[in-house]
Chain A
Amino acid sequence: MKNKLKIQRAIFELTQEELAYKIGVSRQTINSMEKGKYVPSTALALKLSNLFETTVNEIFELEEGD
């Protein structure tokens, strides 16, 4: 699964640490998601979409084979 988390984070001028704090996860979780190593749960995806004031589909995108 591809995601635009890094771009969204840059738009909102947030560090990984700050974003992690805002949604109540660790910095490692943000890092793993940005690198595509970890696919978040629906709850976490919704928290991110709420924070970035956009839809989940705008942040996460299915890849072939997903």
Chain B
Amino acid sequence: MITKKMLACEESRLDRMNRFQFPNYAKKIGYAVALMAFLAGIINRRTVEVELLTQLSRIFMVAGLLIVSLSKEVIEDELIKTLRAYSFKLSFVISILMGLLMPVTNYLADLVIKQKSEGLIGEGEFFVLLMLVIMQLTYFNLLMRYHNEK
């Protein structure tokens, strides 16, 4: 009984998280944030070169694009939802593949030019990739469990 209640609660929370989207106007805000962060990053690099500003511009650029990606279209119908799901799936797979392949090419290039290499995969990249896979598998298994429930 308690397990069932917990499952139902978890399901509704996941459902809310899954359905969450910013309104359509947030897309413009997201683009503006990303563009401003990009320009700030360029200006910073060509003038003062403050490390904190570089980091902040990167954070705001990614955050801005995330807002765009989570914003509704003008008419958010089932086709758009399907396409969004496909795009998330594709981007997930391609990100993992790029994350795995890029360090390998860097490693090979470092071997050729005999520089000290970071190894086949950097620590930061490793945790991002690991997180992506673990999160996807966890959510997929949770959702499968809800749909298999009798």
A residues with a Cβ closer than 8 A to B are 24-26, 28-29, 32, 38, 40-41, 43-44
Is the Cβ of B77 less than 8 Å from the Cβ of A24?
yes
Chain A's interface: helix, strand, loop or mixed, by majority? loop
- CB <8 Å contact, A26 and B82: no
List residues 64-97 of chain B with CB under 8 A from any CB of chain A.
73-75, 77-80, 82
4 residue pairs, one from A and one from B, having the closest CB atoms: A25-B77, A26-B75, A29-B79, A41-B78
Using CB atoms, name the residue of chain A closest to B78.
A41
Band of interface residues on B: under 10
CA distance A44 to B82 in the complex (A): 13
- Chain A residues near B73 (CB-CB < 8 A): 26
Q: A38-B82, A43-B78 are in contact. List 10 more A-B contacts (CB 8 A).
A: A24-B77, A25-B75, A25-B78, A25-B79, A26-B79, A26-B80, A29-B80, A32-B79, A41-B78, A44-B78
Give 1 or 0 for each of B24-41: 1 = CB within 8 Å of chain A CB: 000000000000000000
* Chain B nearest Cβ from A17, distance in angstroms: 11
Shortest distance from the beta carbon of B141 to any chain A beta carbon, whole Å:
24
A contact residues around B77 at 8 Å (CB): 24-26, 29
Closest to B76 in A: A26
**Within 8 Å CB of A41, what residues of B?**
78
Interface centre among A24, A25, A43, A44 (most CB of B within 10 A): A25
In the assembled complex, the Cα of A26 lies from the Cα of B82 at a distance in Å of: 13
Whole-angstrom distance between the alpha carbons of A43 and B77 in the complex? 12
A28 vs B74: C-alpha distance when bound (angstroms)? 12
* Cβ–Cβ < 8 Å partners of A40 in chain B: 78
Report the minimal beta-carbon distance from A54 to chain B, rounded to whole angstroms: 21
The residue in chain A whose Cβ has the minimal distance to the Cβ of B82 is: A38
Q: A31 → chain B, closest Cβ, in Å?
A: 10
B78: which A residues are within 8 A, CB to CB? 25, 29, 40-41, 43-44
The answer for the CA separation of A32 and B77 in the assembled complex, in Å, is 13
